[in-house]
Amino acid sequence: MKIEKEPVTLKNFQLTPSGQNQGGQLAIDGKNFKLNSLQFSYADVLKNAGTIEGLVQFYLGQGWLVHFRELYALIEFMVNENIITNPSFKAYINRETGFDGTSQTASKTISVSATTLPFFRSLEKNVAEHLLKNSAREKVSAQTKLITAGGKDRDLFILLDGQAGIYRVMNEKQRQLVSVLNPGALFGERGFLLNQPRTADIVTTKPSEILRVPHLAEFDQLIRSDKAQSLQHRFWVLQALSSSPFFKDLPNDSLDNLIFSGKLVQTKAGQCLFAEGQAGNTCYIVIQGSLVVSQKGKNINVMNQGACFGEISLLASGGKRTATITVQQDAILLEINQAGFYRVLAQNLILAKEIEALAAQRLQKDRDRA
């Protein structure tokens, strides 16, 4: 079970507010800790919400967005002070700084078929069966590196049992945990579909079973054929997300949730999708067609198949559009709303705080240019 979905076991603590929007004190075992206003509020809600995901959904239900960096800081503090006592939380937090322990949460082996495997069930049955025909199940020990950052191999993997970590390589001696993969997670898709070098190390954190789907030359032709339209659409969407700083590091199980939370919309040439200065809470991926980007009445860019835009508005309450988008040629777009995006972030706390930090940097650059 992901820690974001796992019921939080909390020691008894007391919260005392300091004043309106001033945060307050958390008291436990004779010690007092100062919390800022957001952390104080999150600690109070966490007692009733029961899970991190439940906390995020509570705030969304109230029309408020969660500040994931503050939430992560609170969870890290509560783990380090032994206020949260779940062993899996301790492993999750400590692994980001190099701890190689494994979560003790139970896992459920995933069955192998075109109708039950995540990702494959979104494809036409004959395409899924073709991809699975030459696949092989493998049992591997803990601390087995399945993918190496920078590698050019193109096999696709599905975690059937066990657990693995996605690690961003910082330098020769240091790497940072980006996400924890659980049974059903798919990885290696970018290399498999896009023939791109591997972007991270994937290492098992406990004994695991994987399904390896080898890349065959015929698959590249299959992707581009009319017989594999769903795989072709996924190829286009993946191209867009791979070029987006906000989405490129999403693990594929989260990526699936994000894609499936969106909807395809058809637009006509000349249609104004949204105007500069409008409030927005959706982003878009161009599946087909082209769109023109303009600011202050001047055309500054043309977006074609695979482009992703509007991401910044997902990460700000009442965020304003920074440009006007007009359809140049009839287009099919994947529209993703804010609620769906936050549901994905609620299931991956480490990734959420990193995406939020990246958004803050981009907003600051926009302000500096103004």
Give me the pLDDT at residue 166, please: 87
* Digit-coded pLDDT (tens) for 9-34: 999 999 999 877 789 999 999 999 99
Q: What is the pLDDT of residues 172-218, one digit of tens each?
A: 778 888 778 888 778 888 788 778 899 889 999 999 999 998 988 77
Query: Residue 234 falls within a domain, yes or no?
Result: no
Asked whether residue 3 is domain-assigned, the answer is: no
Distance linking the first and last C-alpha atoms of the chain: 45
Q: If you count them, how many residues does the chain have?
A: 370
Query: Is residue 133 domain-shared with residue 203, that is, in the same domain?
Result: yes
Q: Are 289 and 348 in the same domain?
A: yes
Q: Of 53, 80, 95, at which residue does a domain stop?
A: 95
More reliable by pLDDT, 313 or 50: 50
Residue 292 is assigned to a structural domain of this protein = yes
Note the pLDDT of residue 121: 66
Residues 78 and 124 in one domain: no
140 shares a domain with 77: no
Residue range 44-58: mean pLDDT, rounded? 92
Domain endpoint, select from 207, 228, 249: 228
Among the candidates 210, 228, 246, a domain finishes at: 228
272 in the same domain as 220: no
Domain count, the chain: 3
- 335 in the same domain as 276: yes
Structure tokens at 347: 């299931």
* Residue 159: CATH number of its domain: 2.60.120.10
Domain region containing 352: 259-369
Judgement on whether residues 138 and 189 belong to the same structural domain of the protein = yes
Give yes or no: residues 266 and 304 share one domain.
yes
Q: Let me know if residue 235 belongs to a domain.
A: no
Helix ranges restricted to H, the chain: 37-49, 52-61, 68-80, 87-95, 125-132, 189-194, 217-223, 229-242, 252-261, 338-345, 349-369
DSSP, res 225: S
Q: Do residues 51 and 91 both lie within one domain?
A: yes
Domain presence at residue 236: no
Does residue 234 register a pLDDT over 80?
Answer: no
pLDDT tens for each residue of 235-282 = 677 667 766 766 766 666 667 667 777 888 999 999 999 999 888 888
State if pTM tops 0.95.
no
Kindly state whether residues 134 and 182 are assigned to the same domain: yes
**Higher local confidence (pLDDT), 78 or 120:** 78
The H or E element containing residue 322 is none
